[in-house]
Amino acid sequence: DTAVSQTPKYLVTQMGNDKSIKCEQNLGHDTMYWYKQDSKKFLKIMFSYNNKELIINETVPNRFSPKSPDKAHLNLHINSLELGDSAVYFCASSVRGYTDTQYFGPGTRLTVL
Amino acid sequence: AQSVTQLGSHVSVSEGALVLLRCNYSSSVPPYLFWYVQYPNQGLQLLLKYTSAATLVKGINGFEAEFKKSETSFHLTKPSAHMSDAAEYFCAVSVKKSNDMRFGAGTRLTVKP
């Protein structure tokens, strides 16, 4: 029973394309997050959603947009992909907020050619 | 804003030796401190967290960390390293009513036979 799942695991695409990454959690948590991990393993928060409300957007280009159809899902849409978007993207969830333990998905490795 | 600094991007120990991974934090209010572990090609998993209940925190897999306010430190230790401990370790900080979690740059632990 996977707590936080992401699809796809790998995504290879051309510059300029639009792509989506899906995330689902079955933990009943209220808050979900998207992180970007670059090639040097540095982790940066991109978005968090609490009860369908966007809480924070950390200097992320507006080409990135989170979509939450319900509390258990937080999908990431990326328009007009650029080379610099290549990274591993992690979805996570927590009971309430940032002071709670976060449970991470396995990651999606995005490669933009 | 709060921040953490991990000293040493790479630590190498022999199997059976003491593991010490260093983390210093900066926060103007009481922090919530976390250690996460990332095994190759996987998401992050919580090792332990400090929430002001006790300064010595015990986590999974024999790891523990001590919160030292006077030194603004939250170093991670394990008395005896196992080969299976080889991974990337991240220190992270958040504070109450914050919409942010800041991760350190990570420390890669190598365990030699």
Whether A112 contacts A14, CB under 8 Å: yes
Task: Write down the pLDDT at residue A99.
Answer: 86
pLDDT for A59: 80
Asked whether residue A50 carries a pLDDT value surpassing 70, the answer given is yes
Test B105 with A42 for CB contact under 8 angstroms: yes
For the stretch B31-72, pLDDT in tens is: 999 999 999 989 999 999 998 878 999 999 999 999 999 999
- A interface mutation test: which of B101, B103, B107, B108 has the most A CBs within 10 A? B101
Residue A60 CB neighbour total at 10 angstroms: 16
Residue B65 CA: distances (Å) to CA of B1, B19, B23, B88, B109: 23, 11, 10, 16, 16
Average pLDDT, chain B: 94
Q: For residue B75, what pLDDT is reported?
A: 98
